Structure 1
Amino acid sequence: MQQIVAGFLKKVTEALEFVISIILAIGIILLCFRMIGVMSNIPNLEVWPNYDDLLETCFNLIIGVELIRMMYYHTPDTVFEVLLFAIARQIITDHSSIWGSLVGVTAIAVLFATRKYLFCEFDISDTIIFRASAKVKSINSLLSLDIPHEPNETLMDVVNRQLAQNEQTARIGACVYFHDCGLRVAKLHNEKISRIEVIRSIH
């Protein structure tokens, strides 16, 4: 029951993020058209914004686009890019002091170092543990997956069949893989699989 509620809430949050992304995209598109419309006022320096205003507006639009990607893909790379553009915007548009620029460049260097040495594959996947008796059809519907299965097959049936094809035995940690997910034996009871971990990529 807890897994069903968690899956439902996950779908609701994904839908809300999708709606927010659409609203943000529409706003960015309208602002782009507004900028194009202002181009006709270039000869009039009282109406046309100066170069710094134009640069700041463009950076804001780019950051907005990266925010849309961040909400849609949920990966560390998209968060990194949003932070990178935000810091770069501050360095380029703010000419207050050399020390402020130095702090910004240092922050960018720290971001690149973090990306190179601290990011790992586990940051881009999520896992949920189900009973081995759970129907594969229900899991596919709940998590929007496409685990190959026969009618009325359970997760245990699928895992056992795949392990047999790979000439493996059922043990804790044994994994089988499909194109959009993996299944890992999480718990055994009386030498039978009782819990299976569904590992889903969120790329």
Structure 2
Amino acid sequence: MGMSRIKQKLIDATLYLENILAIIITIAIAIGMIDLIKYIVMIFQTSTIETYDVFQRFLGHTLLLVVGVEMVAMLVRHTPGSVIEVLLYAVARKMLISNAHMLEFLLGIASIASIFAIKKYLYVSNIKDYEAINIFPATASIADINNSIGVKIPENLADTVGGLISYLSKQSCREIHEGSYYRIADAELKVLSYSNGIIYRVWAMKYNES
């Protein structure tokens, strides 16, 4: 059990670090938005010939901020869809602001088409099904689960649902295994994937007394 606690603490630590990175990126984005106003002023002040270059830099800066926003979403949500959004905006920014040759432009179009194909045929339906049956990674925060399924799990017991199950296991003196079932507040929790002392996936549902 000592090693499993260490592994769970490492998972919680990585979640903390991701949240810290998300906060830092958000602050940087807020600061970077000030430059957008400067670019708008420059567009009005520059001549017609120079406006194109200024507007191109404006678009590049805007899309870079959008990529930053999507990165924050990726760090917070931990979903494949968030990763796809980051890749999509990054490729779009590269295509719009760079003076690429025709081959590079075609490769960019192919990349975007591939991303849309992946999103449509490989991930999107699976992600919807995944969320529909209330399955979450063990690193999902308690706040996210409360918001997703409309429950009121206390957020002061643990940061993640995996940590919460570890806490409930200790309180009830029960070993964790696949299929372990727990109730807390108005929620039901069930361990779906567990190996080598690490919880990977958890099913969560609002408890229905009827």
Q: TM-score, normalised by structure 1?
A: 0.64
How many angstroms apart in 1 are the aligned matches of 2:14 and 2:61?
A: 30
Identity %: 24
Matched residue, 2:202: 200
How many angstroms apart in 1 are the aligned matches of 2:182 and 2:170?
A: 20
CA distance 1:109–1:31, change in 2 (3 Å): same
Q: CA deviation at 1:182?
A: 2.0
Deviations 1:55-74 (A, max 9, x none): 11111110011111111111
Matched residue, 2:11: 10
How many angstroms apart in 1 are the aligned matches of 2:122 and 2:45?
A: 51
CA distance 1:152–1:32, change in 2 (3 Å): closer
Q: Pairwise CA RMSD of aligned residues?
A: 4.0
Counting only pairs closer than 5 Å after superposition, residues 164-203 of structure 1 correspond to structure 2 as 179=187, 181-184=189-192, 199-200=201-202
Deviations 1:23-81 (A, max 9, x none): 11111101102322443344432898611111111111100111111111111000000
Q: Please list every run of 5 or more consecutive structure 1 residues that lacks an aligned counterpart in the other structure.
A: 129-139, 160-171, 188-194
Matched residue, 2:22: 21
Counterpart check, 1:118 vs 2:126: no
2:164 to 117, 130, 145: 145
How many angstroms apart in 2 are the aligned matches of 1:72 and 1:106?
A: 29
How many equivalent pairs are there?
Answer: 169
Contact 1:175 1:185 in 2 (8 A): no
Matched residue, 1:89: 93
Q: Please list every run of 5 or more consecutive structure 2 residues that lacks an aligned counterpart in the other structure.
A: 140-156, 204-210
Matched residue, 2:34: 33
Contact 1:183 1:196 in 2 (8 A): no
Counterpart check, 1:60 vs 2:79: no
Q: CA deviation at 1:144?
A: 4.1
Q: CA deviation at 1:84?
A: 0.5
How many angstroms apart in 2 are the aligned matches of 1:185 and 1:62?
A: 35
Contact 2:136 2:202 in 1 (8 A): yes
Letter in 2 for 1:34: D
Letter in 1 for 2:115: L
CA distance 1:5–1:109, change in 2 (3 Å): same
Contact 1:25 1:68 in 2 (8 A): yes
Q: CA deviation at 1:113?
A: 2.2
Larger radius of gyration: 1
Q: CA deviation at 1:184?
A: 4.5
Matched residue, 1:134: none
Letter in 2 for 1:199: R
Name the one with the larger helix percent: 2
Letter in 2 for 1:105: I
Contact 1:146 1:180 in 2 (8 A): no
1:78 to 62, 70, 82: 82
